[in-house]
Homo-oligomer: A and B are copies of this chain.
Amino acid sequence: MTTSIQTRNTRQKDAIRAAFLEANRPLSPDEALTLAQKEVDALSIATVYRNIGSLVEDKWLTPVDVPGNSTRYEISGKAHHHHFQCNSCGTVHELEGCEIQAKPKLPRGFKYTSHEFFVYGTCSSCAK
């Protein structure tokens, strides 16, 4: 028989998952740390990185690359959608659906595989 490495549930990992569930928006490792520290105050950034890594491996989280910023992570399995970034506080939010219908016209010889769309502006908290 194969001896598989067993994984454990820890308060830290629970707190990190809860942070993503509650935030309901893509989080940077730093944001996840801050949010999860409300539950586990000695939580360290290394643990956040380790758990984000394993949650990505488990396909529970998906990386979101943002132009000019560190990678965010969001809960996997959502429908195709794009993101909004606040110019003021830098938070990233999910937008519903995708309005891009046609494949963009590319130069001769180029092949399309996917696209990303980012909207910038002011989020509701910063607009007040």
Binding site for B on A (CB under 8 A): 65-68, 71, 82, 84, 87, 93, 95-96, 99-100, 102, 104-124, 127
* A108 engages B124 (CB within 8 Å): yes
**Which residues of chain B are within 8 angstroms of A114 by Cβ–Cβ distance?**
119-121
**Which residues of chain B are within 8 angstroms of A84 by Cβ–Cβ distance?**
106, 110
Q: How many copies does the complex hold?
A: 2
Closest B residue, CB atoms, query A117: B117
Closest B residue, CB atoms, query A125: B109
**Minimum distance in angstroms from A126 CB to a CB of chain B:** 9
* A87 engages B113 (CB within 8 Å): yes
- Complex alpha-carbon distance, A100 and B71, angstroms: 25
* A116 engages B118 (CB within 8 Å): yes
Closest B residue, CB atoms, query A101: B99
* A124 engages B109 (CB within 8 Å): yes
Closest B residue, CB atoms, query A112: B121
* B110 engages A127 (CB within 8 Å): yes
- Complex alpha-carbon distance, A96 and B110, angstroms: 13
Residue in B96, B119, B123 whose CB lies within 8 Å of A115: B119
